[in-house]
């Protein structure tokens, strides 16, 4: 259950105001239909979570606990820096003519691949034998972050202090990651 909750909350926080959430809102505005976009988001997220967790489970078998803690700490540090320092622009896929499901599925799969959430999920799965719980928690976390963007679109940005959430969430990731690095190195 620890892997489920850790993945859920970490990915939920990491995705607030991030590119997948923005792309979901843009696709909902563009197509005017949210159901196929939700299905595309769900499938793309599930595949990315599976790839991440399977990669993490392989790492789990190769290295011991202290390097795993360092791997997890680094994933949080990189996520935190990504949340507070910069944000790359989102390609809204305006030239794609595949329809709402395929545009959402392929666009979000590519966008999420190698993103901070994928590294956090891989590191979470690496620290446990219950990688399936990490998949489920990560999937739920991303869906909880992105589905409101599909339903509320630009109103979500008016309702939530997204910039503050990103700074606070990034700061939390940086603090936890720093503490874990110091612990893994035996400093604290």
pLDDT of residue 65: 77
- Residue 146, Cβ neighbours under 10 Å: how many? 28
Name, in order, each residue with C-beta under 8 angstroms of 67's C-beta and a sequence gap of 6 or more.
Answer: 184
Name, in order, each residue with C-beta under 8 angstroms of 54's C-beta and a sequence gap of 6 or more.
Answer: 125, 131
Phi, psi of 92 (to 5 degrees): -85, 5
pLDDT of residue 79: 92
pLDDT of residue 132: 93
pLDDT of residue 68: 85
For the chain, which ranges sit under pLDDT 70?
A: none
pLDDT of residue 44: 97
pLDDT of residue 152: 85
């Amino acid at each position: 259950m620890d892997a489920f909750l850790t993945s859920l909350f970490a990915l939920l926080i990491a995705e607030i105001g991030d590119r997948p959430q923005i792309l979901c809102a843009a696709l909902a505005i563009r197509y005017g239909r949210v159901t196929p976009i939700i299905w595309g988001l769900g499938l793309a997220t599930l595949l990315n979570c599976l790839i991440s967790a399977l990669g993490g489970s392989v790492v789990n078998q190769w290295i011991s606990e202290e390097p795993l803690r360092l791997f997890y700490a680094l994933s949080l540090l990189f996520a935190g820096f990504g949340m507070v320092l910069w944000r790359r622009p989102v390609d809204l896929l305006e030239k794609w003519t595949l329809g709402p499901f395929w545009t959402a599925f392929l666009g979000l799969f590519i966008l999420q691949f190698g993103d901070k959430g994928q590294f956090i999920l891989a590191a979470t799965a690496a620290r446990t034998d219950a990688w399936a719980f990490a998949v489920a928690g990560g999937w739920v976390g991303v869906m909880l972050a992105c589905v409101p963007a599909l339903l509320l679109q630009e109103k979500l940005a008016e309702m939530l202090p997204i910039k503050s959430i990103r700074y606070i969430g990034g700061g939390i990731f940086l603090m936890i990651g720093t503490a874990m690095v110091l612990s893994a190195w035996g400093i604290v």
